[in-house]
Amino acid sequence: MLNQSQTQARDLAEQMGQRLKVTEAMLADAMKARERLVADNESAVEELLATISSKDQLLKESSEHFNRMLSERTQE
């Protein structure tokens, strides 16, 4: 009876150990996936910021050009 109980306890401990290993592997995979997503998002944000900066520069140049043309016409 005691031997059977010890065997069951050992089996349970082994099953729990295996489940823990599987859970740890799943957690490691989830962390890797999260790191990839963070890197992808950082890249996307950097691209968006570069696009915004480019558009801002274009608007600034267009505004300066328009103001020059307007100034030239008013002087005529």
**DSSP codes joined into one string, the chain:** -HHHHHHHHHHHHHHHHHHHHHHHHHHHHHHHHHHHHHHHHHHHHHHHHHHHHHHHHHHHHHHHHHHHHHHHHHH-
N- to C-terminal Cα separation, the chain = 111
Q: pTM higher than 0.85 for the full model?
A: no
User: How far is 52 from 46, CA to CA, in rounded Å?
Assistant: 10
What are the pLDDT tens digits along the chain (76 aa)? 668 888 999 999 999 999 999 999 999 999 999 999 999 999 999 999 999 999 999 999 999 999 999 998 888 7
